[in-house]
């Protein structure tokens, strides 16, 4: 039977655990801050300096990148996921389009630097590939809740609407075309309205939308 650790030993052990937790949190926060500022692939040295820890601490806490991606994703999801909730999915078609685009614009602006960073390495990360697919499914399901008119619509029409409201479309307008958020939102609204108005009207779906 092993002897019980002395109280001083337990206290020292607890202190090391707490310091380890603080270091880990500081490293994740530093990486989030650096990427958020546009440094899409920070070096270990940059992360260590920002976190106030040694380079060895970064390697010790995150021996593989998948672990680091998971830690970053958990923090980002906690901050950004609520931005997709709470909006009123009722009213006229024009009102719903405006509300959806405002909601997605806010969400996409928040996650943009992290998506750009993740896209650079997604090809080699099973975790980031899985998260990307999950996000696609989540946004598509949410889109159909906003617009029940699209229930039973041709697949091509649903795909076009999904594309127009995607992060990739937003990124092209904001990053490639250098449009401001307001101009980008107006472009997405115009595309979404055109796609929806081209579909046959469905009375039942409109009643559902009005009820929310």
* Spans of all domains in the chain: 7-63, 77-211
**pTM recorded for the entire structure:** 0.82
Task: Look up residue 83 and give its two tokens.
Answer: 């931005």
The candidate with the shortest Cα–Cα distance to 61, out of 29, 24, 31, 25, is 24
Could you tell me if 202 and 147 are in contact, meaning their C-beta atoms sit under 8 angstroms apart?
A: no
Q: Is the pLDDT of residue 206 over 80?
A: no
The candidate with the shortest Cα–Cα distance to 147, out of 101, 80, 82, is 101
Mean pLDDT confidence for 148-158: 92
Question: pLDDT tens-digit profile of 121-134?
Answer: 999 899 999 999 99
Please tell me what DSSP assigns to residue 123: G
Question: pLDDT tens-digit profile of 72-86?
Answer: 899 999 999 999 987
Residues with Cβ < 8 Å from 142, sequence gap 6 or more? 84
Residue with tokens 């997604």: 122
Could you tell me if 65 and 125 are in contact, meaning their C-beta atoms sit under 8 angstroms apart?
A: yes
The band of 6, judged by pLDDT with boundaries at 50, 70 and 90, is low
Please tell me what DSSP assigns to residue 176: I
Question: pLDDT tens-digit profile of 175-199?
Answer: 999 999 999 999 999 999 999 999 8
pLDDT at 204: 40
The band of 205, judged by pLDDT with boundaries at 50, 70 and 90, is very low
* 7-63 under CATH 1.10.10, yes or no: yes
pLDDT at 88: 83
Mean pLDDT confidence for 49-66: 83
Q: Which residue did the predictor score with more confidence, 94 or 88?
A: 94
Please tell me what DSSP assigns to residue 6: P
* Spatial distance between the Cα atoms of 192 and 186, rounded to a whole number of angstroms: 10
* Spatial distance between the Cα atoms of 139 and 209, rounded to a whole number of angstroms: 18
């Amino acid at each position: 039977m092993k002897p019980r650790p002395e109280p001083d030993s337990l206290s020292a052990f607890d202190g090391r655990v707490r310091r380890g937790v603080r270091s880990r949190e500081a490293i994740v926060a530093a990486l989030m801050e650096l990427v958020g500022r546009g440094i899409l692939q920070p070096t270990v040295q940059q992360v260590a300096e920002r976190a106030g820890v040694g380079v060895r601490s970064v390697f010790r806490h995150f021996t593989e990148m998948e672990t680091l991606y998971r830690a970053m994703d958990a923090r980002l999801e906690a901050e950004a996921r609520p931005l997709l909730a709470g909006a009123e999915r009722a009213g006229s078609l024009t009102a719903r389009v405006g509300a959806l685009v405002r909601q997605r614009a806010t969400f996409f602006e928040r996650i943009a630097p992290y998506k750009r960073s993740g896209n650079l390495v997604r090809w080699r990360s099973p975790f980031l590939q899985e998260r990307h697919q999950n996000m696609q499914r989540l946004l598509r399901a949410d889109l159909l809740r906003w617009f029940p008119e699209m229930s039973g619509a041709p697949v091509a029409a649903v795909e076009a609407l999904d594309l127009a409201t995607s992060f990739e479309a937003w990124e092209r307008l904001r990053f490639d075309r250098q449009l401001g958020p307001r101009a980008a939102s107006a472009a997405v609204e115009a595309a979404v309205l055109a796609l929806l108005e081209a579909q046959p009207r469905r009375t039942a779906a409109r009643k559902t939308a009005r009820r929310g």
